[in-house]
Amino acid sequence: MSTTRPLRFLRRGRTVQLNGIAPDRTLLQLLREDLGATGTKEGCGEGDCGACTVVLGSAREGRIHYEAVNSCIRLAHSIDGMALWTVEDLAQDPLIQPADEGAAAAPGGLHPVQQALLHSHATQCGFCTPGFAMSLFSMYQRHVCREGRAIPRALAAEELSGNLCRCTGYRPILEAAGQLHELPRVQVDEPALLRLLASLQAPATPAPAEAPSYLAPTTLQELLAARAAHPEAQVVAGCTDVGLWVTKHHRQFERVLDVTRAHELRQIREQDGALGIGAAVSLTEAFAALVARWPQLARFAARFAGLPVRNAGTLGGNVANGSPIGDSMPLLIALGAEVELASTRGRRRLPLEDLYTGYRTNVMASDELLAFIHVPPPAPGQLLAAYKVSKRFDDDISAVCLVLNLQLEGGTVVRARIGAGGVAATPARARQTEAALAGQPWSEATARRAAAVLQAEFQPISDMRASAHYRREALGALVLRLWREGQGGAAGAALHELAPLVPAEEALP
């Protein structure tokens, strides 16, 4: 195995430096097995339950950026140069101080998050509590300390969607979130933390003569050179999927190439109304940019996994992964997005739907990386709707994802773009259904004909998430739902999204 660079991060106001950490070691393994920080729990090992949630801090534009992430599928080396908080640190970090000078310390030395959970009787077996506490800590720093406001119940429910509780229930936990602004305030000393983070930027030791086993170039040029030199390296761009290969499939990687440190790929740029989203932009930030353009996507974006997954995962990683049940690809296909592939040989652009050649396979050469995703601006007369059907409303994988983008002029469908997930081996564009809609009046009869075409266009499989029959029925129902919502039928149509998945011989209600 190649040599590894020292891993350095901040914890409790001090630099932690660890040597010889394997490139595929997870942050949770590092915490529990190497540092003895057993307050962070392992539940599902796949980023679903939130028991392993920790908070990372990084410097962005002169401020601390706080992110709650799942440590079970986060690679340890990915936190190099960052600040880390676990549940043990809330009451022990010397950088967390009373907000008002001379104010008394919290009773029992507890952080307000811990006090609120205690007072609300928001724990029972306690296994999930550390994860909830850390998600609440991230909320506390961003909303209570920075914005000086209470955390609304709806916001707390949305940001806690990646944390599951199996015995106490969520009401007292949500009540705890609502009490945070009423308690004596403490906050992170951000100026001091920024200075400490800056001190980590200097190399701890000379770079090894041999290429390190965890490569994290900070420029696109260096990243592409590393890709060309090490085509065997496992590429990670957030690791929310590769992390499962480590924890569930027990795969090992001798060399990892992390794209998320290349500063060009961490940016969102606008040119001529179009968005250029770097491949290393987090799902949280990418969806925020898309929702700013299309506010109707807010609900859909909030249902893409839980917040810790969206914080760690990247839009580029989700697209390059190409899972047929990924939610971002149907949306981007419907929006007419293009991907930009890059290598040391040059760059090329192609429609996103043309990236895939089969199940999790694509047209990228061994020295290429997905660098940018280009999304056209909204068009006049655009009717856009994104639907996700899953067994559980929050933090679940789609059985069917359907995004319809119709451009209407005078009540006629001038053109249509439709992206679908969960119905084929790849994220798919429904070209036959688009053709059936083009030039037709937007009416219930047109919607019914398009629904029938869409149902016949794909041959989905039956699996643990839904039967093939259910998926076909859902496709048709969602086209009709789009029509009915435009006629004031949103309330009734919404029942389809919450309908339980049914056996193959039954139909949607």
Euclidean distance between CA atoms 162 and 366, whole angstroms: 34
| Per-residue pLDDT reduced to its tens digit, 401-425 | 999 999 999 999 999 999 999 999 9
pLDDT of residue 390: 93
Euclidean distance between CA atoms 475 and 461, whole angstroms: 14
Give me the number of domains the chain comprises.
3
**Which DSSP symbol is given to 376?**
P
Lowest mean pLDDT among 110-119, 199-208, 458-467: 199-208
Boundary (domain end) residue, out of 167, 192, 208 = 208
Boundary (domain end) residue, out of 336, 352, 378 = 378
DSSP 238-299: S-TTHHHHHHTS----S-EEE-TT-GGGG-EEEETTEEEEETTSBHHHHHHHHHHH-GGGHH
pLDDT of residue 318: 96
Q: Are residues 9 and 154 located together in one domain of the fold?
A: yes
With 0.75 as the threshold, say if the pTM is over it: yes
Token pair listed for 170: 């969520």
From the list 237, 315, 235, 244, the residue with the least C-alpha distance to 47 is 244
Boundary (domain end) residue, out of 338, 353, 378 = 378
pLDDT of residue 167: 86
Q: Are residues 68 and 191 located together in one domain of the fold?
A: yes
Q: Are residues 369 and 390 located together in one domain of the fold?
A: no
Q: Are residues 351 and 413 located together in one domain of the fold?
A: no
Q: Are residues 252 and 343 located together in one domain of the fold?
A: yes
Is residue 150 included in any domain, yes or no?
yes
pLDDT of residue 502: 36
Q: Does residue 504 have a pLDDT over 60?
A: no
Domain containing residue 266: 216-378
Angle between helices 444-457 and 468-486 (to 10 degrees): 160
pLDDT of residue 5: 84
Confidence of residue 491 (pLDDT cuts 50, 70, 90): very low
Strands 338-343 and 268-271: what pairing?
unpaired
Close Cβ partners of 450 (under 8 Å, ≥ 6 residues apart): 433, 436, 437, 479
Q: How far from 229 is each of 342, 421, 433, CA to CA, in Å?
A: 14, 35, 44
Confidence of residue 507 (pLDDT cuts 50, 70, 90): very low
Is residue 508 included in any domain, yes or no?
no
Angle between helices 171-179 and 129-139 (to 10 degrees): 30
Is residue 490 included in any domain, yes or no?
yes
Euclidean distance between CA atoms 16 and 89, whole angstroms: 14
pLDDT of residue 377: 96
Phi-psi region of 401 (alpha: psi -120 to 50; beta: other; left: phi over 0): beta
Q: What is the mean pLDDT of residues 55-76?
A: 97
- Average pLDDT along the chain: 91
Q: Are residues 48 and 184 located together in one domain of the fold?
A: yes
Q: Is residue 240 within 8 Å of residue 328, measured between CB atoms?
A: no
pLDDT of residue 2: 46
Q: Are residues 195 and 227 located together in one domain of the fold?
A: no
Q: Are residues 157 and 181 located together in one domain of the fold?
A: yes
Q: Does residue 169 have a pLDDT over 60?
A: yes
Q: What is the mean pLDDT of residues 52-68?
A: 97
Q: Is residue 88 within 8 Å of residue 37, measured between CB atoms?
A: yes
Q: Are residues 248 and 162 located together in one domain of the fold?
A: no
Close Cβ partners of 26 (under 8 Å, ≥ 6 residues apart): 71, 72, 73, 74, 75, 76, 243, 246, 247
Is residue 135 included in any domain, yes or no?
yes
Is residue 249 included in any domain, yes or no?
yes
Lowest mean pLDDT among 190-204, 256-270, 294-308: 190-204
pLDDT of residue 493: 38
Judging by beta carbons within 10 Å of its beta carbon (0-12, 13-18, 19+), is residue 141 exposed, middle or buried? buried
Is residue 185 included in any domain, yes or no?
yes
Q: What is the mean pLDDT of residues 167-187?
A: 93
| Per-residue pLDDT reduced to its tens digit, 13-49 | 999 999 999 999 999 999 999 999 999 999 999 999 9
Confidence of residue 207 (pLDDT cuts 50, 70, 90): low
Q: Is residue 20 within 8 Å of residue 5, measured between CB atoms?
A: no
Output the domain CATH number for residue 429.
3.30.390.50
Q: Does residue 492 have a pLDDT over 50?
A: no
